[in-house]
Structure 1
């Protein structure tokens, strides 16, 4: 049984990887962090399709939060000043706004700082490094 939450992200996406590295250095969430490409997704109750679509936060009990709510859980786990924006992201109407902003960014991540054209490709069509 897991004792810590797990953050699962797209390790082939440069923007996603840069964002996670920023979170590790500056936000310091209390969780394990792994790219979906190296995670046993079945053991988390997640699918490859969902992991390609959005950031995932898996609680020790197995609940899965995706996208903006995964970001909210990450911020909440860090405590300190980060918990306030994390809590705000869980409240309507900010929750719906956060979801829209997350989808806008996720759908255009190849255009974001640190993104590459490979970020726009489905995982099975990305160049292998």
Structure 2
């Protein structure tokens, strides 16, 4: 791969808002940020189940990370200020605390600013209601 890839849940409004923040405010170098629903998961070596569980990082070198570890990798590609944040997420006590915090946010993302009820639904239920791309199915 030529570029590293950060993959998030595009069906979740909260996740999408966070990704939009990253694209606007976190200047990254050679990183593609995209929803997993539009990613070539096989080419990235990811599964839909992995992407439903947490954000994913696939480095240009083939390295992989999930959840707060993926966020740390993403921040590590930015300017010095954001790189400090990424480095802090890698410090063992911070990393140890980051995972439970990440899981709590993931479980409650539908309650957070920008979240919607669809964020709380399992992926298969979201696809039935909103279609595979997160949009309501069109009538034929």
Q: Give the TM-score normalised by structure 1.
A: 0.95
**In 1, are the aligned partners of 2:27 and 2:79 still within 8 Å (CA)?**
no
Q: Give the TM-score normalised by structure 2.
A: 0.88
Partner of 1:52: 52
Runs of 4+ in structure 1 over 4 Å off: none
User: How many residues are treated as equivalent by the alignment?
Assistant: 128
CA distance in 1 between counterparts of 2:23 and 2:97 reads 25
Equivalent residue of 2:90, what SS? coil
Partner of 2:63: 63
- Tell me, which stretches of 5 or more residues in structure 2 are unaligned? 136-140
Per-residue displacement from partner, 1:4-46 (whole Å, max 9, x unpaired)? 1101010000000000000110112221011110111111111
Equivalent residue of 2:7, what SS? strand
Partner of 1:28: 27
Bigger Rg, structure 1 or 2: 2
What CA RMSD, in Å, does the superposition of the two structures yield over aligned residues? 0.9
Q: Does 1:5 align with 2:4?
A: yes
CA distance in 1 between counterparts of 2:124 and 2:86 reads 33
- Tell me, which stretches of 5 or more residues in structure 1 are unaligned? none
CA distance in 1 between counterparts of 2:39 and 2:68 reads 21
